[in-house]
Amino acid sequence: MALLTKAASPLTSKEWQQVLEDYREEHPEVTVLDPPNAIQHLHNRQSMLQEVADLNLSNSYGEVCTPRQLVIMKDPSSIPDAVAKAGLTLPLVAKPLVVDGTSKSHELSLAYVEASLPLLDPPLVLQEFVNHGGILFKVYIVGETIQVVRRFSLPDFNTYDLGNNDGIFRFPRVSCATNNAEDADVDPCIAELPPKPLLEKLGKELRRRLGLRLFNIDMIREHGRKDRYYVIDINYFPGYGKMPGYEHIFTDFLLSLVQSKYKRLLSGS
């Protein structure tokens, strides 16, 4: 701990990762939950969904894909041309490119006319909006355990009053705990949870591809398509206090890691 507190100035992300890597090498008895470089992969919305897109998951329980998206690094005036060149269809959800843990990095904007696009603030990711009945599924991953909760999300686009703004709807953090939809009176076709076998396959593949064990997946079901799901965000170490039964699940997870670690040490492997 002395090593971590002697820095005269704040460490950069790269320096902090190196400190952790050095500590892990010096203390092999310490259990590291997830490697820093893998965690960093989820701090960028350009890279976080690539593993899902490459997975191309489809089976008898449904299809999992990602919305088409475009990264804009600078120059808001160039956005309309970039959107047209990429062939994206409005409305578009605009999200900050970097997820840094602040509430601002989780704020969304919905742009629905071309003239509004230069009003957006890069760097950002633009995702094609998919109508999904206003319900989002938060899929919590804790090791091999998966839990799902419903949250209210952005309403379908045809429900907006389009005459009262500049072509952009701005939203605070959408899928927070206050938007819990577990007990809401929602159309069963919209509220039905994704099939467990599909989630288990998705969770297993993403754990392997991302090299992480503690994250959550934000999923939506395309309205009118019972078997088509979109992953729209992945978050590292989300607020597990909002997950049902998190105390026992998380405790069992930590114990299993420690037991596995000591078994390997005792066996000399």
SS3 76: helix
Distance CA 83, CA 75 (A): 13
220 is in an annotated binding site: no
239 is in an annotated binding site: yes
41 is in an annotated binding site: no
153 is in an annotated binding site: yes
Distance CA 125, CA 83 (A): 11
What ranges make up the beta strands (E) of the chain?
57-59, 62-65, 69-72, 92-96, 108-111, 124-128, 135-142, 145-152, 168-171, 214-221, 228-236
104 is in an annotated binding site: no
Closest CA to 205 of 220, 195, 217: 217
119 is in an annotated binding site: no
95 is in an annotated binding site: yes
129 is in an annotated binding site: yes
Distance CA 48, CA 125 (A): 11
Burial of 217 (0-12, 13-18, 19+ CB in 10 A): buried
138 is in an annotated binding site: yes
166 is in an annotated binding site: no
Distance CA 207, CA 146 (A): 12
190 is in an annotated binding site: no
133 is in an annotated binding site: yes
245 is in an annotated binding site: no
Q: Quote the Cα angle for 4-262-33, to 5°.
A: 45
136 is in an annotated binding site: yes
Annotated binding-site residue numbers for ATP: 45, 95, 127-138, 153
Annotated binding-site residue numbers for Mg(2+): 218, 233, 235
Annotated binding-site residue numbers: 45, 95, 106, 127-138, 153, 218, 233, 235, 239
Annotated binding-site residue numbers for 1D-myo-inositol 1,3,4-trisphosphate: 106, 138, 235, 239
